[in-house]
Amino acid sequence: MKFRLDEYLSEREQIDLPAVVTLIMTGKVLVDGRPETKPGRQISDRNEIILKERPREFPARSAAKLLGAIESFKSFALEKRIAGHVCVDLGAAHGGFTRVLLDHGARRVYAVDVARGLLDHTIQRDERVTVLDRHNVKSIDASWFDPADLAEQPWFFSCDISFLSLGSVLEAVARFADQSGISFSGIFLLKPQFEASAQTEKGILRDEALRLQIREQMIARAAALGYTVRADADSALAGRKGNVEICLLLEYGSFFKSADSLHIL
């Protein structure tokens, strides 16, 4: 999949597009180790994109999405699903979601991202965090994780990934769970603008009926993959361009069909 450099960085770094364009045109962006000054450069997830300088904007904005979801789903007591448990943050980027998981008492957080060097240094220094840079979620595998953690049940996932269909993520994570024998619940962010990119206007999906259709289709796909869809809600915070994203609360695995699950449900 190809996408514009400026749009990719704006989404990944959570920086307004005009500011990103300025950074690119002033040589602050490297593509595969070389300065790139064309905002419209076509790239893919095989390219290594490094931002040499960025506005200091701690990932509080992305954190607000997960905090909002925890509040929206408060009847499910997600704090109990996080505290003392192994957590995986897919698309960790600067660590907004990772920070929320740590603040809610996660015993271990695996911060997974296809890029490298994005995670906030204060988060990296937390002994509970394992940084998995240059790891593509589509290839998630038991070898990424400590065997002792694989023996624990259940895990908690958070997911905020752009430029990739959530369906592909759910398929990969379900395959990993089946192979490793883990059960998990989690909050997965559905971004309709990346499910129907051809129907967007400058990256914005304006068709509300289509957005709702995408939600229903993803819920059906998750169920077909073996997930239990416990709840869904619009994100408390819109995407950078104003897209209305959707939080899905999902469960997967035998743990949630057993009496042992009652203490966290």
Residues 70 and 43 in one domain: no
Final residue of a structural domain among 29, 51, 73:
51
Q: Is residue 174 within 8 Å of 225, Cβ to Cβ? A: yes
**Structural domain boundaries, residue 209:** 60-263
- Check if the beta carbon of residue 239 is closer than 8 Å to that of residue 190: no
* Of 47 and 144, the one with more pLDDT: 144
**Residues 211 and 250 occupy one common structural domain:** yes
User: Which of 51, 70, 86 corresponds to the end of one domain?
Assistant: 51
Does residue 83 sit in the same domain as residue 191?
Answer: yes
**CATH number, residue 73:** 3.40.50.150
CATH no. for residue 19?
3.10.290.10
Residues in the chain, how many? 265
**Residue 131 sits in the same domain as residue 258:** yes
Say whether both 132 and 205 belong to one domain: yes
| pLDDT over 70 percentage in the chain | 90
pLDDT of the residue at 63: 84
User: With helix as H, strand as E and coil as C, how does 193-247 read?
Assistant: HHHCHHHCECCECCCHHHHHHHHHHHHHHHHHCCCEEEEEEECCCCCCCCCCCEE
Same domain, yes or no: 41 and 87: no
Q: Of residues 39 and 156, which shows the higher confidence score?
A: 156
- pLDDT tens for each residue of 56-83: 554 556 788 898 899 899 999 999 999 9
For residues 24 and 141, membership in a common domain is answered with no
First to last CA, the chain: 39
Question: Which among 156, 12, 160, 4 has a CA at the least distance from the CA of 84?
Answer: 156
The predicted-structure confidence for 122-137, as pLDDT tens digits, reads as follows 899 999 999 999 999 9
